[in-house]
Structure 1
Amino acid sequence: MRITGELRNRTDDIWRTILNHPFPASLCRGDLPVEKFTRYLLQDYGYLLGALQNFCLLASRTDNENILLDLVALIGEEAEGEISDYQNFIAQLGFTLDDARTVEPFATRRKYLDFLLTVSAERPFAEGLTATLPCFWSYLEIAEYYREELMKAPDSPFRRWMEAYLGEEYHALVDRLRRLVEIASDGHPFEPLLEVFREASLWELRYWDEAWEETR
């Protein structure tokens, strides 16, 4: 996938920092305290709901029937898959969805979602869709990067949570989103795509930064 591959290559400095960030590293090693993981999980549930709203906005903006159908299917799969997993883990940890809905959002979470919604509403469709990719793709890369450590880590809620990102279904979801970006971006100027991809990647890094600071 030429366009998305080039976007990833041109932002490797940011992605390397994400991959070596202390929060996902600690999470995958299994030495992140459960209460800190719980705080992050409750926070991230709200982010995922916002991300789904952003996908719905994007779906309303495309004139390409095939992209529309694929995007709507992806929204449904994400709601049934990752969102459902989050709900199950929240319950296993002894919390409710009301706890997740009412948690005070990170400043980074608010600003990240504002960025995504603004790009989706005000810029070309291809750029809005491209901005969604770092979130989903980076979790796949994190899981792959720490695969060996993850397999050696003691059984825990966050080990089971991270293992989901190594599954075939999640790989397929990321590949599907990358293909949609490739189709939507065909013939579109590359530099604006790189701009939003880089900014979204930076928001991913800032999100990890705030999660780490909040849990230290």
Structure 2
Amino acid sequence: MNNQITKLLRDRAEDIWNKILNHPFVTELFTGSLPLDKFRFYVIQDYNYLVTLTKCHALIASKFEDPVIMRKVLELALADVTTELENYNKLLNTLGLSINEVIKSRPSPTNTAYMNFLLTTCTLGSPYEGLVAILPCYWTYLEIAKHHANKLERNPVKAYRDWASVYLTPEYVGIVDELRAVIDKAGDYLMRDFDKLLSIFRQASIYEYLFWDMAYRQEQWVL
């Protein structure tokens, strides 16, 4: 089991991840049949989520005593900002959105719950609990892109192709590999708290599924 804790976590969440890979939003996005208004709603929500994710990196990094790991976590945050957020900045004009409009948009109930889950875990939990909480976000996007990559060539919507292609780049693959490596390096130490980490990992994975579902339904507050 040494150095395989992320694989163990992934294996124990297979039921959730299969649902993520086959969610209608995901499949329609990669085939190009997803209505543009659903994708536009998703981008607004995800942009706000990614800002919170960056804050989570800072919270996690501040808890590590080892400056090498602290730097690595901050480097991962910077890498994500220069891949995902930069990709969204380019997409905004295509979708007729401005950064101010996106930032001022109210996060949906599901998005709010997910962000609060991450912030609470990263604030009150150990640094490794924080890393495990953010791992499904990074990793599922890579798995989604790989799983549906063959559909992109026939995808007629350039915005969708551009968005999806980011998650197949060496840079993004490197982010996921580095994040897993930081966790796996402490695998033996973390195994004693495996049940707790698995609970966090599965909950974050469930939120990933709910996030796609929220976007597909264009979830709104009732009041």
Which residue in the other structure is 1:157 paired with? 159
What SS does structure 1 have at the residue aligned with 2:189?
coil
What SS does structure 2 have at the residue aligned with 1:81?
helix
Task: Give the stretch that moved more between structures: 196-205 or 75-84.
Answer: 75-84
1:180 pairs with 2:160: no
Q: Which amino acid letter does the alignment assign opposite residue 203 of structure 2?
A: E
Which residue in the other structure is 1:103 paired with? 105
TM-score normalised by structure 2 residue count = 0.92
Cα distance, 1:35 vs structure 2: 2.3
Distance 1:16 1:157, change over 3 A: same
2:207 to 181, 185, 203: 203
Cα distance, 1:137 vs structure 2: 0.4
Cα distance, 1:92 vs structure 2: 2.4
Cα distance, 1:136 vs structure 2: 0.6
What SS does structure 2 have at the residue aligned with 1:31?
coil
CA contact (8 A) 1:125 1:184 kept: no
CA contact (8 A) 2:56 2:122 kept: yes
CA contact (8 A) 1:126 1:185 kept: no
- Runs of 4+ residues deviating >3 angstroms: none
CA distance in 1, matches of 2:109, 2:186: 31
Which residue in the other structure is 1:44 paired with? 46
1:142 to 141, 144, 154: 144
Cα distance, 1:185 vs structure 2: 4.4
Task: Give the stretch that moved more between structures: 157-166 or 180-189.
Answer: 180-189
CA contact (8 A) 2:59 2:123 kept: yes
CA distance in 1, matches of 2:186, 2:63: 12
Cα distance, 1:155 vs structure 2: 4.0
Percent identity reads 37
Per-residue deviation, residues 183-209 of structure 1 (Å, max 9, x unmatched): 244412211111100010001011111
Cα distance, 1:81 vs structure 2: 1.9
1:75 pairs with 2:74: no
Q: What is the number of equivalent residue pairs in this alignment?
A: 215
CA distance in 1, matches of 2:186, 2:96: 42
CA distance in 1, matches of 2:178, 2:68: 13
CA contact (8 A) 1:130 1:193 kept: yes
CA distance in 1, matches of 2:188, 2:207: 25
Which residue in the other structure is 2:63 paired with? 61
Which residue in the other structure is 1:32 paired with? 34
CA distance in 2, matches of 1:184, 1:102: 39
What SS does structure 2 have at the residue aligned with 1:63?
coil
Which residue in the other structure is 1:193 paired with? 197
Task: Give the stretch that moved more between structures: 51-60 or 33-42.
Answer: 33-42
Structure 2 regions of 5+ residues with no counterpart? Answer: none
CA distance in 2, matches of 1:93, 1:142: 22
TM-score normalised by structure 1 residue count = 0.95
Which residue in the other structure is 2:19 paired with? 17
CA RMSD of aligned residues (A): 1.3
CA distance in 2, matches of 1:75, 1:68: 11
CA contact (8 A) 1:42 1:90 kept: no
